[in-house]
Amino acid sequence: MNCPHHIQWIVPVTQGLHQCLQCTEVVTKKDVTPKFEDLGPEIQKRWDAHEAAAKPPAPPPAPAAAPGGPAPGRAGG
């Protein structure tokens, strides 16, 4: 039997994922019933916020090379 992953059984878990309590599978927006688009803005906002919170921050920009120093990736001398 296939689990319908009803939205009432879905809970947020670590790393921005969502899990079905009925079958314990990790689910995505396209897996839930009713359709994600039909769930309403409040549920959609909570889902998106949970996913966004798990994304790692952007890495800091690489430091600029010092003037007159060796080219990046090359050893001097």
**Model-level pTM?**
0.66
**What are the strands of the beta sheet with 18-20, ordered from one edge?**
10-12, 18-20, 26-27
* pLDDT of res. 53: 87
Q: When comparing pLDDT for 74 and 27, which is higher?
A: 27
Q: What is the DSSP string of 3-63?
A: ---BGGGEEE-GGG-EEETTT--EE-GGGSBS-GGGS-HHHHHHHHHHHHHTSPPPPPPPP
pLDDT of residue 1 exceeding 60: no
Q: Above 80 in pLDDT, residue 71? A: no
**Sequence ranges of the domains in the chain:** 7-53
Model confidence pLDDT, tens digit, residues 8-65: 999 999 989 999 999 999 999 999 999 999 999 999 999 999 999 887 666 777 777 6
